[in-house]
Amino acid sequence: MTASGHSRLTRWDRLGLGLFALLVVGFGVVVEIRSAFQRQRKTDFGVYARAAWAVRTGADIYDVSDDRGWHYCYPPPFAVLMVPLADPPTVLEDRTGYLPFAVSVGIWYLLGFGCAAYAAHAFANAVLPDAPRGSRRWWYARTVPVLICLGGIGFTLGRGQVNTVVVGLVAAMFAASVRGKTVAAGAWLAAAMALKVIPGILLLFPLVRREWRAGLGVLAASVVLFGVIPAALWGVDGAVKSNLRIVDAVLKPGTTGGGDQTRAKELTDTTATDSQTFQAVIHAMKYPDPTARPAKADRDTRLAHWAIGGLLTLVTAAVAWRRLGPDPGDQLVFLGCLCVLMLLVTPVSHMHYYAMAMPLVCGLWLRGMAKRPGGIGTDRLTLAVLVGWGAATALPLFPWDFTSYLRQAGAGVFATVGLWAFALGTITRRAEVVAAAEPMPEPRRLAA
C-alpha cells in the first residue's frame, strides 16, 4: 500500500466501479419486480406505506396491516414522514392522490442505497479529510466497507427495510460531532430513534465523549418528533396514545414476552424470524430440534440475554471512557462497537440488521488507512477480520441447507461478537502505544 493511492483510478478500478453500478441498477430492477409486479408483494416497504395511508385517513397506524397481514411496528414519527409514499389497500380502486406503488418502491430503493452511499462518504470524509478527491485512496475508502457489508445492505434493500436510512442518520450524527456541532449531532441521533427505537443505545456515544450539549439536541428533536408532530395530527391525547402503543405492541412483547401479542407470529416470538441475538442463540441451543422448539424464550433465557448484553455494553463504555482518544478513526470504531451491540442486545434482530454494522466496518477500515498515508487499504489482519465477518454474515442469507444451520447456530452472532472484541482491542492497543510513546517527565529538583 504505497503513495499510488493518490493517483487516478486504474482501468481495473474503473471496471470494478462500473460493474458495481450495474449490480446496483440490476438489483433495483429485481426489487421492483418482486415488490410491485408479482401477485404477492415481496417487500416490507408495504408496511410503512400502509401506515402512512392510515396517517392520511385518520386510521390507527398500529391496527392497519399491509396486503400480507403484517402490522406496523415502528415509532409514530416514521409513519408520518412516510406520508408522501402512502399506499391504500389494494381492494380500494380509487388511488387518486397517491403515487403508483411501483414508483414509491423505486424511490424507497434509491433512498436506501443513497443513505448507505452517504454514510460511507461521511465516515470517510471525517476520518480521511485529506484524501485527494477522486483518487484511488478516496474511492477505496468509500467502496470497500460497502462491499464488506453487502450482505446486510443488499438484504435490507431487497426487503425494502429501513436499516440503511438509520445508518445514514447515524453518519450525519457522527459528522456533526466531529465538526463540534454537538447539538445538531444529538438531533440526528433523535431522528434515528424516531425510525427505530434501538439506536437509543447510541446515547452512550456523546455521554462517553462528554458532549453534554448533545443531550439538548436529543431532547429538542425528540419533543418535536415524538410530541409536536403526532399532537398536530392526533391531538395531545392521540400523541400519548400512539407512543404508548409502540411500547405495548413491540417493546414489551420483545423484552418481557408480555403486552400486545398481535405481532407475536410476525416479529416478537423467538421462533418467528431468523433472529440473530443472544436470546435466539441460547434458545436454539436449549432446544436443538426446530420442530419442537417453543415459540417463546423462557425467563432464564431472557435474563441471560440481558446479562450478556449489559456486560458487553458496560465493558465497551468503560474501555472508551478510559482509553478513547480524540482521533476520528478511534471515535468511529467506538461508535461502531455500540452499533453492533445495538444489533445483539435487541431481543429481535433480523439478518438484514447487519447493514447497521457499517459504522464499525468503516471505522476499522478507515482507521487502518489513516495509519498508511497514501495507501489504499489497511493491515492484513484487519482486512482478514473484516472479510471473515462479511462472509459469516452474508452466507446465512442464501437459501441452502447448510446456511440454514448457520442461521440456527448463530454464526452471525459469534462473528459479530468477534468483530466487536477485535475493534475494542484496537482502541486499547492504540492507547497503550500512545502512552509508551510519550516522553517521561523530567524529575523535579529537590529543594536544597
Tell me the per-residue pLDDT of 108-117, one tens digit each, with 9 for 90 and over. Answer: 999 999 999 9
- What does the pLDDT read at residue 409? 78
pLDDT at 93: 66
**59-85: average pLDDT:** 91
Closest Cα to residue 188, out of 86, 115, 104, 84? 115
pLDDT, tens digit, for every residue of 122-154?
A: 999 999 999 999 999 999 999 999 999 999 999
DSSP state of 295: S
Of the given ranges (6-15, 241-250, 338-347, 371-380), which has the lowest mean pLDDT?
241-250
The predicted pLDDT at position 15 comes to: 96
What local confidence, expressed as pLDDT, does residue 431 receive?
47
Strand (E) or helix (H) holding 445: none
Whole-number Å distance between alpha carbons of 143 and 184:
27
The mean pLDDT of 404-428, rounded to a whole number, is 88
* From 46-55, 261-270, 426-435, the region with the lowest mean pLDDT: 426-435
Q: Each residue of 183-196: pLDDT tens digit?
A: 999 999 999 999 99
Residue 264 has pLDDT above 90, yes or no: no
Which candidate, 230, 260, 192, places its Cα nearest to that of 54?
Answer: 230
- Reported as a single tens digit per residue, the pLDDT across 305-330 is 999 999 999 999 999 998 888 899 99
- Kindly list the distances between the CA atom of residue 420 and the CA atoms of 371, 398, 423, in Å, as whole numbers in the listed order: 20, 24, 5
Which whole number is the average pLDDT over 233-252?
A: 87
How much is the average pLDDT of 47-54? 95
pLDDT above 50: residue 448? no
pTM comes to: 0.90
Task: Note the pLDDT of residue 28.
Answer: 96
Place of cell 464499525: 360
Q: What SS3 state is found at 31?
A: helix
Whether residue 201 contacts residue 166, with contact meaning beta carbons closer than 8 Å, is answered with no
Beta bridge partners of 71: 65
**Residue 290 and residue 401 in contact, taking contact as beta carbons nearer than 8 Å:** no
403, burial (CB in 10 Å: exposed 0-12, middle 13-18, buried 19+): middle
User: Which DSSP string corresponds to 303-365?
Assistant: HHHHHHHHHHHHHHHHHHHHH--S-HHHHHHHHHHHHHHHHHHSS---GGGGGGGHHHHHHHH
pLDDT at site 443: 39
Three-class secondary structure of residue 65 per DSSP: strand
In whole numbers, what is the pLDDT of the chain averaged over residues? 88
3-state secondary structure of 71: strand
Distance from first CA to last CA of the chain, Å, rounded? 57
Instruction: Give the pLDDT score at 266.
Output: 67
Q: Please compute the mean of the pLDDT values over residues 392-396 and round it to a whole number.
A: 89
Q: What percent of the chain has pLDDT over 70?
A: 93
Q: Which of 187, 213, 189 is nearest to 200 (CA)?
A: 189
Tens of pLDDT, residue by residue over 192-231, are 999 998 999 999 999 998 999 999 999 999 999 999 999 9
Higher pLDDT, 298 or 151: 151
